[in-house]
Structure 1
Amino acid sequence: MAAINFIQQVSKARNGLGSFVLPCKKILITYCDFGGSSVGMRDFLRSRLKGFASQYPEIEFQVLEKPGFHPVIKGFYTNEKSKQICCRKWNADVIENKLKLLINSTGSKLKKPKQNVISLNSSVRGIWSPFHVDPSQRYKI
């Protein structure tokens, strides 16, 4: 049991060291076979899914029929996070663009930087001081 945990820790994806690993590892596509909101998803599954999935052989695509539910695409990532997008009443082009968005995402939520950017270069103008002004003009308003 300890050997398996060690192997999982060693084989954790580290992009940039040796090779690039896509953060997205699995895409789950759910749709309804008779619902009106799934028309675009059914069109995508019939005409485009095979070609789209062949572009990304390292990602597992799973299609699941859920009667009575709106179509949803869900991405699972290597950092144990997931994202889902509801595809209700979307056409096949929009669904393909959203799948690309899920594939190119990391699964993490967007955050603001915690610190302001600090430059190591000095300003072009230099540091302003009131003593840099001509003495005859210093106290004139």
Structure 2
Amino acid sequence: MARRSARPSRPPRPAVPTMCPCGLGVPYADCCGAFHAGGATAPTAERLMRSRYSAFAVGDAGYLLRTWHPSTRPAHLDLDGSVRWTGLDILATTGGTAFHSEGTVEFAAHYRVGGEVGAQRECSRFLREGGGWFYLDGEGGPG
């Protein structure tokens, strides 16, 4: 009888969606999926925020780390596979365009964990360096 080695139980990675989770109403591959794959970079702070939300929704911790400013980026990031991200509302933006080096995006990211629903509200700060936008930090919490 063959022995099986015990493997740690990991939550399944979410399936790649057809439509982009960021809420713009376009296919994932033509939207945030292109940023996640490295074929394009987010042109504004808001688009970076949307792509980071989508990265949480599809379980792409690598993209989240790559788009996190080196001065505040953690060494590693463990995503909670039990969280199902259900929607994103952009509440306000300041700066964050091609004409700016800084920007903020205030948002509410809606989620479900088990039978409970919630929202993460934050005002995130972004910096543009070397032609790319990076998440710096944010203030806020569950809403």
Both structures adopt the same fold (TM-score exceeding 0.5): no
Higher strand share: 2
Give TM-score scaled by structure 1 length.
Answer: 0.26
Larger helix share, 1 or 2: 1
The structure with higher relative contact order (CA 8 Å, sep 6+) is 1
Q: Rg larger in 1 or in 2? A: 1
